[in-house]
Amino acid sequence: MAERTILVTGGAGFIGANFVHALVELRPDWRIVNLDALTYAGNLENLTEVEGNPNYTFVHGDITSTDDVSKAFDACGDDAPVSVVHFAAESHVDRSIHWPLPSVQTNVIGTQVLLDEFRRRSAQRFLHVSTDEVYGALGEEGMFTEETPLAPNSPYSSSKAGSDLLVRAAVHTHDVDAVITRCSNNYGPYQFPEKLIPLMIANASEDKPLPVYGDGLYVRDWIYVRDHCEAILRVLEAGRKGEAYNVGGNNEYPNIEIVRRILSILGKPESLITYVKDRPGHDRRYAIDASKIRSELGWEPRFDFGTALPLTIEWYQTHSVWLQRVRSGEYRDYYARQYGS
C-alpha cells in the first residue's frame, strides 16, 4: 500500500516530468498519478524511464474537463491520502501574447475545476505551482517578496495570477489546505525548445541564428529545475497552509550573457547572435527574494549556473535524439504507439 498518492497535473511537461523523476527517487513509496492533456508541450518521452513503475499511472485528460479530473482522482484509489501538485498550464509568454485564450482556459478555468474536485474528494493538500511573473516587472533595483502586490503584465502571467487568486479564495472560503510556490525561470533537462536556454542550445548546435529580443539586457533569475522540484517537495511536506513561498536561484543574468556563455561552452561563434524585434510588453527584470522558504523550511538551491548550465548543455547533447524528435514533431506519435489510441 502506498503511503501517499500524488496527483500530478502536467507531469509530461518540463518541470512536471522532472518532478516525477525526483519523486520516484526521493519518495519511492508514494504513488504517482499523472494527469496530462498532452498539448504540444506534453511529451511522454520525458517519462519513458518511469513507465513500467508499478507506483506510476498516466491518465490522458484535460484539467478543464470535470470528467477527466474525476477520472484522475478515481485512478488515485482510496487507500492513501491524495495530494495534488498542479503544474499543468499554458506556460509560454510569447504564445500567450499571440493566442491568449488557451492560457485563460487552462490556467484559470482548469485550476478551478481541480480545486472543486479536490474539495469534493476531501483530498489532503493542494500545491499550486506558480511563477514570479505574477509580481510584474522590476527596474534595476529590488526583489520580489511574497508581500509584493500582484501586477502581472502578459496574458500568461495574468492568467497565472488569476489562478493564484482562485487558490487563495479556496483557502479563505472553504478552508482548503492549499499552498502556492512562485518560482523564477527554470532550466535543465526536458525543457521544450521554445524557451530561451534550450532554444539557444538547439540552434547553436545546428549553427542556426540565435534570436535575442530587443537589446538583450532583460534580466531573469535562473534556477536549475532539480532545485525547484526539491523546493516543491519541501513546501508540500512542510509549508504552512494558505502561504505562498517564493523560490529562486540567486542567479541573475541578462539574456545576452547567457547566450554568450552557451556559445562559448559549445565552441560556437558569436556571429550566430541575431538581434530581433522585441517581445511586446517585455518585462525588464525579475528577481526573487527566497528568504522565507530558506528560513522557514530550510530549503536552499544546490546548483549554480557555473555547474548546472554546462550540465544542461551536456544533457541536450547526449539526448540529441530526444531533441530532434521534439524539433521535428515526431514525439507526438508516442502516445498513440504506446497506448494504442
**Known catalytic residues?**
132-133, 156
CA distance 15 to 40: 15
Q: Are 184 and 286 in contact (CB under 8 A)?
A: yes
Three-class SS of 226-273: HHHHHHHHHHHHHCCCCCEEEECCCCEEEHHHHHHHHHHHHCCCHHHE
Q: Which does residue 33 bind out of ligand TYD, ligand NAD, none, counting CB within 5 to 8 angstroms by kind?
A: none
Other C-beta atoms within 10 Å of 170: how many? 23
203 is a site residue for ligand NAD (CB under 6 A): no
Rule CB under 6 A: is residue 100 a binding residue for ligand TYD? no
- 183 part of the interface to ligand NAD, by CB under 6 A: yes
Q: Which does 234 bind (CB under 5 to 8 A by kind): ligand TYD, ligand NAD, none?
A: none
170's contact among ligand NAD, ligand TYD, none, with CB below 5 to 8 A by partner kind, is none
- Say if CB 19 and CB 8 are below 8 A apart: yes
- Residues 7-26 close enough to bind ligand NAD by CB under 6 A: 9-10, 12-16
Among 63, 93, 123, 273, binds ligand TYD (CB under 6 A): 93
Selected from 32, 37, 178, 244, the binder of ligand NAD by CB under 6 A is 37
Q: Report the site for ligand NAD in 96-115 (rule: CB under 6 A).
A: 106, 110
Number of residues that bind ligand TYD (CB under 6 A): 12
Residue entry with cell 518532478:
19
Cβ-in-10-Å burial (0-12, 13-18, 19+) of 269 comes to: exposed
C-alpha cell at 134: 505574477
* Residue 107 sits in the site that holds ligand TYD (CB under 6 A): no
Strand residue runs (E) in 26-70: 31-36, 56-60
Residue 12 touches which of ligand NAD, ligand TYD, none (CB < 5 to 8 A by kind)? ligand NAD
Q: Which residues fall within 8 angstroms of residue 155, CB to CB, at 6 or more apart?
A: 96, 97, 100, 103, 104
Size of interface with ligand NAD, in residues (CB under 6 A): 30
By CB under 6 A, the residues from 207 to 226 that bind ligand TYD are: 211-213, 218, 220
83: contact with ligand NAD by CB under 6 A:
no
In the list 50, 129, 258, 308, the residue contacting ligand NAD (rule: CB under 6 A) is 129
> Residue 299 is placed in which grid cell?
530549503
Toward ligand TYD, which CB reaches closer, 111 or 154? Answer: 154
Q: Is 21 in the site for ligand TYD (CB under 6 A)?
A: no
User: Residue 118 has what DSSP assignment?
Assistant: H
Question: Is residue 32 within 8 Å of 51, Cβ to Cβ?
Answer: no
Smallest distance, ligand TYD to C-beta of residue 171, A: 26
How far from 179 is each of 13, 64, 249, CA to CA, in Å?
Answer: 21, 21, 20
CB of 317 to ligand TYD, least distance (A): 20
Residue 6 C-beta-side C-alpha neighbours within 13 Å: 27
Q: How many Å separate Cα 169 from the centre of its chain? A: 22
Question: Would you count residue 114 as binding ligand TYD (CB under 6 A)?
Answer: no
In the complex, which residues of this chain contact ligand TYD (CB under 6 A)?
A: 93, 185, 195-196, 199, 211-213, 218, 220, 255, 279
In the complex, which residues of this chain contact ligand NAD (CB under 6 A)?
A: 9-10, 12-16, 36-39, 41-42, 62-64, 87-91, 106, 110, 129, 131, 160, 183, 185-186, 192
